[in-house]
Amino acid sequence: MVVVLDLEDVSFSFDEKVHVVSGVSFRVDGGERRAIVGHSGSGKSTLLALAAGILAPSSGEVMWFGRSLRAMDDDQRAALRLAEMGLVFQGAELLPELTLRQNVELPLRLLARPWRGVALPLLERLGLDEVAERLPSQVSGGQRQRAAVARAVVHGPRMVLADEPTGALDSEAGATVMRLLRELTSEQGTTLMVVTHDMAIAGECDVITRLADGRVA
């Protein structure tokens, strides 16, 4: 089984004082669905940012397919995130001046891959064809979040990392977003790591890692 992500004794602190993540080790295998759960402030979002190479650990190693993120420079990490990862955040974080369709096309365009005609079928599948030409400000939170899911998978990433993707939604819209995340990643064999405080969402994953005070509980 190929190991996608390997966290080895990873710690992170702000200003060398506030210890947010302490000595966390675990591996994520290819195709696995992993939930990271824990109370507010337990370090879940920080751990996801470390896994994605957005933050650098104070100590320990984050290995991506056997390559140390520490050994890469910022540009290399950004290029790796763009090509090999799909990220979803609680607030969707779509570009406000682009339509939903253009937002979904963006990863393909940045990667200089064929992009015409790719976004619409995916948006249709997510029930967004009617609003594809609207700006993010002109659609609902659930629709924005579904578009963010489309943007995260459109380029066939090796792993999708989602931070509270359903956190701003009611339970029905949240369940829809999680179902789509599950369906789209399992069809492509994509590994999924989702940070959530919602045990119903976590229950749809294969493995649950619980954080308490920055440690694996």
Ligand X SMILES: Nc1ncnc2c1ncn2[C@@H]1O[C@H](COP(=O)(O)OP(=O)(O)OP(=O)(O)O)[C@@H](O)[C@H]1O
Under the rule (CB under 6 A), what is the footprint of ligand X?
14, 18, 20, 38, 40-46, 197
Shortest separation between residue 163's beta carbon and ligand X, angstroms: 7
Q: Which is nearer to ligand X, 41 or 127 (CB)?
A: 41
Q: Is 186 helix (H, G, I), strand (E, B) or coil?
A: helix
Judged by beta carbon, residue 99 or residue 196, the one nearer ligand X is 196
| Residue 11 vs 188, nearer CB to ligand X | 11
Cβ distance to ligand X smaller for residue 1 or 18: 18
Least distance to ligand X, CB of residue 198, Å: 11
CB-based burial label for 16 (10 Å; 0-12, 13-18, 19+) = exposed
Q: Is 42 left (phi over 0), alpha (psi -120 to 50) or beta?
A: alpha
- Least Cβ distance, residue 43 to ligand X (angstroms): 4
Tokens of 99: 């339509």
Residue 189: how many other CB atoms lie within 10 Å: 10
Token pair belonging to 40:
């507010």
Q: What six digits make up the tokens of 208?
A: 């649950």
Q: Shortest distance, CB of residue 45 to ligand X, whole angstroms?
A: 3
